[in-house]
Amino acid sequence: MASGRFGVTSQYLVSARELQIKMAQGAKPGEGGQLPGTKVYPWIAKTRHTTAGVGLISPPPHHDIYSIEDLAELIHDLKNANREARISVKLVSEVGVGTIAAGVAKAHADVVLISGHDGGTGASPQTSIAHAGLPWELGVAEAHQTLVLNNLRSRIAVEADGQLKTGRDVVIAALLGAEEFGFATAPLVAVGCIMMRVCHLNTCPAGVATQDPRLREKFAGKPEHVVNFMRFIAQDMREIMAGLGFRTVAEMIGRVDHLAPKRAIGHWKAKGFDFSNILYQPDVGAEVGRYRQIEQDHGLEKSLDLTTLLTLCRPAIERGEPVRAELPIRNVNRVVGTITGSEITRKHGPGGLPDDTIRIGFKGSAGQSFGAFMPRGMTFVLEGDANDHLGKGLSGGRIVVYPPAGSPFTPEDNIIIGNVGLYGATSGEAYICGMAGERFAVRNSGVDAVVEAVGDHGCEYMTGGRVVVLGSAGRNFGAGMSGGIAYVLDEAGDFPTRVNTQMVGVERLEDPQEIARVRGMIGRHLELTGSARARYVLEGWERLLSKFVAVVPKDFKRALASLERAHSQGLTGDEAIMVAFEENARDLARVGGN
């Protein structure tokens, strides 16, 4: 679960045994990531729900995490999406990481991973490789000590990674406080990686970090190579443990008294180093656990899904029968619909159920993550308002929100859903009769949405779908947007000044097919929400059509043009997509684009 949320659908989540929230990588802390368009082959685009040949950007932060409470909410969201999976949080080794790790434990994560600066791929920027991050040893020691001092260590596992290569590395990590260990670079080398550090160029000579079929033929790796490597690691570790007198890994977690730094301190390069903080052993009682022994309490039994929805929707889940209901909702009801949706996905796969099989009306104020990761077949109609993260990761479902009957306020001037609506949504529909907060549809990759107005940073990092805004839009609209199209009714005529034009262009709405599509979406919005704003637009359509502007990503437009040319040659399906991709890749290489 990186900040880009590429391809994170209900099906993806229920298929996992562990879900990891990657806050950052040790090798490039806080920088996000970018996949050049020349590497976004059709099968990559299909997996990530984007457009072949169009570069993909992961934002540096998770836009639904700005506090430890937000992190707790995402952990809770994921636990609802897959009750059987462990939830892990990946942190970067840094000064103060112990405090963050304590927050992660209190937020009910099952695992906290401390990542060191030595790991990462060859695509990491040279400045990060050389100058950013700290060794995992410092972070693991601080995290373990802080968790023990606060009696939190027994309810969370600590993992370490960042260029672990030998059994000795694993033993030191355990003695400093970790009980799980991550390997990436070393197994890659075992299957043939020769560390050319050209992962981002699609030219890997060993066929590892490339999608080029000609280069992939050179890949000689086999699963057995990794198995053999890990056996040697285990054997090396077993021999060191025997020398130290340990029978199990659990016995040696946090046993820093078995680390002797004297020879290291005596070395001329390390003279003056003080290892006392790293080798500090908290003075706590025997009752305080020093490794994970207790399951986290995620509080799922209190959810509206387990108390009401799941039983109510059982006929639809088991037999595909229609379900209709009206329920009250309060803002303490978080992540409503996610557990029920996960059961539909487990039973019926990524296609879900036929549209509107489950249609439930709610009255009141919904809590955070209303309808998160909801699959096709579920329709939630909310008469009221909703908190942050509405429709996060929407996976085919439909969400309708409108003000309560008799509300005196003007919907397009008043926020009806909170921030970060539809973050990482991949498919489905959303109709919002009112204003959305900041970062509406950020990283949307397939949902069609109609909203009356949006705050700042609308459609940021969007890669697919269509968004119609019937009113005002805040500043920095379309930043990092590489796919999909947004249509904004710009009656004041000043909207283009609030668009971030680095990756997008602002055009008039002129294509007859697009005009018909937009009008159809607005008509559907009126039908489902009774929006006065939608009625005003449709009744004045001839007059207001010229006021609509389309925000279209430049690379996306070029990719669509290539696909259109492929179709004109009589090509269809995957063949047309592949021809369009190759043409687009050649264009990018010619202009030096990404």
* Alpha carbon distance 432, 436 (integer Å): 8
* CATH code at position 237: 3.20.20.70
Q: What is the pTM of this model?
A: 0.94
Domain that holds residue 184: 10-23+62-270
- Residue 268 has a pLDDT of 78
Cβ neighbours for 163, distance < 8 A, ≥ 6 positions apart = 116, 118, 119, 185, 186
Bridge partners, 554 (sequence order): none
- Residue 592 has a pLDDT of 57
**Max Cα-Cα span within the chain:** 84
* Alpha carbon distance 294, 152 (integer Å): 10
Tokens describing residue 338: 């996610």
The total of structural domains in the chain comes to: 1
Helix, strand and coil in the chain, % to nearest 5 = 40, 20, 40
- Residue 375 has a pLDDT of 98
CB-based burial, 423-446: b 16+ in 10 Å, e otherwise: bbbbbbbbbbbbbbbbbbbbbbbb
C-beta atoms surrounding 260 within 10 Å: 9
Return the beta strands (E) in 76-218 as ranges. 86-92, 111-115, 157-161, 180-181
Cβ neighbours for 286, distance < 8 A, ≥ 6 positions apart = none
Tokens describing residue 333: 């009801």
* Alpha carbon distance 326, 192 (integer Å): 58
CA 473 to chain centre: 25
* 123 located within any domain: yes
* 500 located within any domain: no
> Which residue type is seen at 353?
L
* 279 located within any domain: no
* 85 located within any domain: yes
- What is the pLDDT tens value at each position of the chain, 594 positions in all? 999 999 999 999 999 999 999 998 887 787 878 888 888 999 999 999 999 999 888 888 999 998 999 999 999 999 999 999 999 999 999 999 999 999 999 999 999 999 998 877 666 777 777 777 899 999 999 999 999 999 999 999 999 999 899 999 999 999 999 999 999 999 999 999 998 888 888 899 999 988 888 999 999 999 999 999 999 999 999 999 999 999 999 999 999 999 987 766 777 777 777 888 899 999 888 889 999 999 999 999 999 999 999 999 999 999 999 999 999 999 999 999 999 999 999 999 999 999 999 999 999 999 999 999 999 999 999 999 999 999 999 999 999 999 998 899 999 999 999 999 999 999 999 999 999 999 999 999 999 999 999 999 999 999 999 999 999 999 999 999 999 999 999 999 999 999 999 999 999 999 999 999 999 999 999 999 999 999 999 999 999 999 999 999 999 999 999 999 999 989 888 888 998 888 877 776 666 544
- Residue 594 has a pLDDT of 46
* 570 located within any domain: no
User: Under a CB-based contact definition with an 8 Å cutoff, are residues 450 and 468 in contact?
Assistant: yes
Q: ∠ at Cα 299 (160, 389), nearest 5°?
A: 80
Q: Read off φ and ψ for residue 128, nearest 5 degrees.
A: -75, -45
Beta strands 56-58 and 33-35 are antiparallel
- Residue 410 has a pLDDT of 92
* 424 located within any domain: no
User: Which residue, 124, 51, 44, 52, is CA-closest to 92?
Assistant: 124
